[in-house]
Structure formats: C-alpha cells, structure tokens
Structure 1
Amino acid sequence: MSLDPELLRALPKVCLHDHLDGGLRPTTIVEIAGEIGHELPATDPDALRTWFVDSCNSGSLVDYLVTFDQTIAVMQRAQDLRRVAREFVEDLAADGVIYGEARWAPEQHTRAGLTVAQAVEAVRDGLAEGMSAAAERGHEIVVRQLVTAMRHVPEPTTEIAELAVRYRNDSVAGFDIAGAEKGFPPERFLASFQLLRQASAFYTIHAGEADDLRSIWGAVCLCDANRIGHGVAIADDVTVADDGHEVVGDFAAYVRDQQIALEMCPSSNVQTAAVPSLAEHPIARLDALGFRVTVNSDNQLMSGTNLSRELGLVAEQFDLGVEDCRRFAVNAAKSAFAPWDLKRRLVERITSF
C-alpha cells in the first residue's frame, strides 16, 4: 500500500534510533569544512549528498562507518556541535517528529580541545535552541541525547556511562554502544552496564545488525539492555514448522514477551547488508508476531532519508496502512527513555491524530 507522503509527514512520530553525526545537512558540512580547512570529497552540497548515499551502498557496515570521518571532522568545535544539534531538531520537526533521541559518541569530538563534558553541553544547548525554534513555528518537539561509547576500543572504560549518569537530568536520555559489531560483543562493556543499572539509568545496545543472534542474546541476557538497536538477527530464532505456522524460539519469545523494543532501520539495514533487500526485511513478520517493532531513520544523510520516508517504504513494501504506522509510533513512544508523563502525552498525540 502506498501512503500519501503528506499524511505520513503530518502523523506525529517518534524516532529512537537516529545518529546525530549521520544527520547533517550537506550545506552545513561544506560551510564548516571551509572554515576549518577540511578537505571534502565534494564541495557542492548536492554532489556531497550523493557521495554519502552512494558510498554507503557498500553492503558492509565497516565501509558504511568510514563515511562518518567526514561528518565527525566538522563537529569538533562547540559552535559546530550546537549548530548541528539545532538543525537536527529543526529537521526532525519539519518531518513531523514529536520526540527524538540523538545518539552520538562524545569521545570522537575532542580533537579541537573540547572535553567530553563540554561536547555534551554544546549538543545540549543546540538541542534546546532547536526545540525553541520549532516551538516558535508551532511545533512541540522534545529531543534528548544518547551518549555513545565506541565498542571497538582496545580497552573499554566506564567514562561515557559515567557521563550519561552525570547529565541524566540535563538533556541526556541514556547510553549506547555503537561501531563495528562483529568481534566486539556487548559484554565487553559489562562494567558500564552494571554502573548504569546501579544508577537506574537507561541504555540501548546495537546488536544483530552486523553479527548474529548471539550478539542480541549477549545484549539482553548478559547486559540486560532496555532496547536493542536494529535487532534484525532476532528473526533467526523464528522458524517455520512443517504445517506452515511460525515457531518463535525461547530467546526470541523472551524478547517479545518482555516487549524489548527493536529499533529497526529499514534503509540502512539494506545498505549494510543486515538484510539482502527491503522485501526480505523481517520487520513486518516480527510485527505480526507481536514483537515491539519501531521504525527509525538511523542516519538521515547516509541513507538519504527521514522517518516519514522510512515508514512509507515499509508500508508500500508490506502492504501496511496508516494504522500500522501509528502503531509503530506508539511502540516507540512507549519505549522512549523519557518520563512516564511525557510518554503518556506522546501516545495521546499519536492516537488522537
């Protein structure tokens, strides 16, 4: 079913899995790069946009991640982090998003002398500016940040988890680990997750995108994740019996029965070969089986997308309607790392549309 793009844009939406350094405007990259003397693969904004999307259609998560060298390079000064965060919120608002979580890795933004704390505060200020600008245009939106640790560092520390706790009441919604997944299991950061649990703080874990079911099992059963980033490989624990009905394995059933949200990102999952094609994505199958599926944009620049477009692609591919898109939005609202009263208001805005 093809849904009206304007209807999807107007639908109140919640985006849980969206990388700040994957959502820059090409014009912003060009302008900042010119100021700091950073060489880009293209200096025309349209050509640069095309370069990002083409480069990310590699079929490899590792190759996909290389493109972030260009965006991270222009996010080293406090004023640049503020600008990127402000524009990120404005772009979400223009797409009809009412709540978002912007994830990024502070440790990658200290080359120009910022501390990780100063970087977090710069993003905090930019998010606030973006929310204020959106409110002036009549759109109420809340966007908070998820601070991310890079999972492939030689020796994991608890520094970023401690940062998440320190700023938990100052724009930070929670914690994440991201980066190369295969060969770097989530339990390497077990000390961080234990620290967060002891502080009653939220966290999500990238798992089941570039590695198999074992990665998700580690994130859930060893690290006790509140949500799973991507989680595509959970479908490997769902089989088809001889009589044609689907059998949900014990682990997948646990994820479903606990309603652990799956932060699925259709376009990027195809780009990184997490799935061979959109038609083979398990999102609709898992949704029909009762998993708490959410739809997300992941990296708006790299995938040339936004949340409305992702919902439209899923709806068209799997013959879904606006009620299905509304259910995905409600799932995301219920799974947000946000206070209960805010989540209740989000659900009310979505269901009353």
Structure 2
Amino acid sequence: MVTPTAAQVSLARRLPKIELHAHLNGSIRRSTLKELALAAGLNARESQIIRGDARTVSEMFAVFDVIHHAVRGGKTIRRIAREVLEDAEADGVVYLELRTTPRAHTECGLDQVGYVESVLQGFKDYEETAQRDRRCFARLILSIDRRDPAEVAEATVDLALRYRDRGVVGIDLSGDPTKGRWETWLGPLTRARESGLKITLHAGEVPDVDEETRRMIAFKPDRFGHLCFLSSENQSSLWASGIPIELCLTSNVLTCSSTIPTYAAHHFALHHGRGHPVALCTDDCAVFGSSLSNECAIAIAAFSLSADDLRAITRRSLHMSFLDPSSHDFAQILTRLEAGEEMDLQ
C-alpha cells in the first residue's frame, strides 16, 4: 500500500479541492455516527462502521443498512448535512456535490419531500455560519436506488425537478450493483435529462456487467462513477465519448481488491495518462476512513503527481461538475482555483 510523505499530505491539505462523488450517509462524522448507533441500540464498538476495516461490496451495503437504521428523522438528517459541509470546509474542499436517496422515515412522520427539505436546510444552516473566505459551496444530487421500482425512480426525478431552484442539480443511479435492470431506470433518467437535470451513473462496480455498461455508455450520461470493471470494447467507447469519471481510490481498493489490489494498480493511471477527464473523490469518507485530502495525497504518492498536476485535475473537476458555469458561485470557485490559492487549514 501507499504511504504519502508528510510533505505530500501537507500539499494535499493546503490545495483547494473539488468533491463530486460523496454520499450523505457514507460521509457522516464518525463521532456523530457512533452517537446515533448507540442511541439506536446498536453495539458501536463491534460495528463495522466504527472499525473501518476493509470491506467487499456486499459487506459495504450491509454497513449502509446499519447506517440507515441509525439515521432517523429530519432533525438528524439536517444535522448530518450541516456537519458534512463543515468537515468538507475543514478539509479544504471548496465545492461539494453531495448525493443521497430520498427515503421516507414513516415512524418519524418524515416523507421523501421532508427528507430533501431536511438536507437542504442543513446546507442553509452551514451557509449561515461558514467563513466567507473558506466557504464550501454545495449542491445536491438525488439518487435512484437500483433496488427500487420504476415508479420510485420517477418520484425521485419529480423531487429533483421540484427542488432544482434550491440546489438540486442532478440525478444519480446507485445502490447494490447486483440488483435491478437498466431498462427499469432508462425512462426516468431520460425524462430527467430532457428536463435539464444532469445525470451521473454508478457503473462497472462488479464483474460481468459488460452489456449493462455498454448500454450506459450509449445513454451518454454527464458522468460515470467508479468503472472498476471495464471491457476493452467498453473502454474504447468510453474514451471516444469523453464522458468524465469520478474515481474513488480507497473505496475501490477496499471493495475491488481482486482487481485493484493496490493503489498503484488503480485505473486512475490508465485514464489520467490518456488525458481522459477524471475527478478524485471519496465516495464514503466515513465508511472508508479517508478524506479528500487523503485521497489526493495518495494520488500524489501512487502516481507521482506534482502540485500542478493536482491543480489541473481540480480545475477540470470543476468543469466536470453540475454547477451552472454562468453562476456567480462557479466564478468565485474558479477564481480561487486559478489563483492557485493554498489554504491555511491550521
């Protein structure tokens, strides 16, 4: 495994960063997660969540089942959303796209609308206290769960359209990659795109899904997540398409160890070396115990990246984002990145 030097860690910490692939429930502050797990009657000391050890894909989704059990009610969701942005700011992240699947918490009287409202209120709570010169700008992506039927996917698109003027910028397809069929979500995703929403798809997370991945590439989403398993034919199609990829080094090494046994073996080198657009992301920083600064430090060490390389990846990540490029927020972030600003995070 790779161990970044102190200088590499320091550089990664100081440079402003862009996070495009982060799940709300997987980014819960560790102390908050332990508190919620104990309150829900779970044994936090024995929980995989707290141990933070290596996990397969199936084990990871079992962990999320525990998280979903512990995280209940709008007040808790609002708190978590605020804390995620606080932690992102502390890590030097200047723009974050957070994604989550709207879930009803019926025992708490919370429906899907209330869920989205709670996340957005958490964003607002953060903005009211954030330091202006260090603020982390944020947008929300609503996720369609692969385990859900088409009508639930349609309802998620409806929610995204309802709240796109309040910070929702796109739709994600995620969840257990062994579940569901591409045809189930094609209609809702097509409607979302035709309505002006951006689309990102988790793809190639498990082996033997070449046909699904082929269809996803043909759909031409705005971004892909992961693509750990990619046939040579699909790889050629992807490169020809120019569709950007959200890459999560630690997540992929831990969950796809049979194919990606080390950081140096990660497909980041393949795509970045070709000049294909990629972004460095965390996926689930609490589950995998790795901040975006840590992911960047690992990339510097594993792939011999320079400070200028990392700055270039970050600038390109902003242009890969779902943020309106004509917006004032985009201009502010771009100014910070182009100035090569190094942040004081002490």
TM-score range, shorter chain: 0.7 to 0.9
Q: What's the TM-score, normalizing by structure 2?
A: 0.88
CA contact (8 A) 1:296 1:310 kept: yes
Read off the aligned partner of 2:320 and give its amino acid letter.
S
Alignment-derived partner of residue 296 in structure 2: 311
CA contact (8 A) 2:150 2:188 kept: no
Alignment-derived partner of residue 252 in structure 1: 235
Partner Cα separation in structure 2 for residue 4 and residue 69 of structure 1? 35
Partner Cα separation in structure 2 for residue 111 and residue 324 of structure 1? 49
CA contact (8 A) 1:26 1:49 kept: no
Seen in structure 2, the aligned counterparts of structure 1 residues 115 and 262 have a Cα distance that, compared at 3 Å, is same
Read off the aligned partner of 2:124 and give its amino acid letter.
A
CA contact (8 A) 1:12 1:96 kept: yes
Q: CA RMSD in A?
A: 2.2
CA contact (8 A) 1:106 1:147 kept: yes
For residues 167-187 of structure 1, what are the alpha-carbon distances to aligned partners after superposition, in whole Å with 9 as ceiling and x for unaligned? 111121211111111353433
Alignment-derived partner of residue 101 in structure 2: 105
Structure 2 residue 31 is matched with structure 1 residue 27: yes
Seen in structure 2, the aligned counterparts of structure 1 residues 230 and 343 have a Cα distance that, compared at 3 Å, is farther
Structure 2 residue 322 is matched with structure 1 residue 337: yes
Read off the aligned partner of 2:10 and give its amino acid letter.
E
* Displacement after TM superposition at 1:27 (Å): 1.8
Q: Secondary structure at the match of 1:325?
A: helix
Alignment-derived partner of residue 213 in structure 2: 216
* Displacement after TM superposition at 1:150 (Å): 0.9
Seen in structure 2, the aligned counterparts of structure 1 residues 182 and 31 have a Cα distance that, compared at 3 Å, is closer
Alignment-derived partner of residue 299 in structure 1: 284
CA contact (8 A) 1:90 1:131 kept: no
Partner Cα separation in structure 2 for residue 328 and residue 110 of structure 1? 42
Pick the aligned partner of 2:15 from 11, 14, 22: 11
CA contact (8 A) 2:324 2:330 kept: yes
Alignment-derived partner of residue 240 in structure 1: none
Alignment-derived partner of residue 141 in structure 1: 136
Partner Cα separation in structure 1 for residue 149 and residue 52 of structure 2? 30
Partner Cα separation in structure 2 for residue 27 and residue 154 of structure 1? 34
* Displacement after TM superposition at 1:110 (Å): 4.6
Seen in structure 2, the aligned counterparts of structure 1 residues 339 and 220 have a Cα distance that, compared at 3 Å, is same
Read off the aligned partner of 1:224 and give its amino acid letter.
K
Alignment-derived partner of residue 344 in structure 2: none
CA contact (8 A) 2:217 2:237 kept: no
Structure 2 portions without partners, runs of 5+: 341-346
Structure 1 portions without partners, runs of 5+: 238-248
Q: Secondary structure at the match of 2:166?
A: coil
Pick the aligned partner of 2:267 from 262, 282, 297: 282
Alignment-derived partner of residue 40 in structure 1: 42
Q: Secondary structure at the match of 2:212?
A: helix
Structure 2 residue 106 is matched with structure 1 residue 126: no
Identity, in percent, stands at 27
Q: Secondary structure at the match of 1:63?
A: helix
Q: Secondary structure at the match of 1:76?
A: coil
* Displacement after TM superposition at 1:19 (Å): 0.7
Partner Cα separation in structure 2 for residue 53 and residue 301 of structure 1? 8
Q: Secondary structure at the match of 1:260?
A: coil
* Displacement after TM superposition at 1:73 (Å): 2.4
Read off the aligned partner of 2:213 and give its amino acid letter.
I
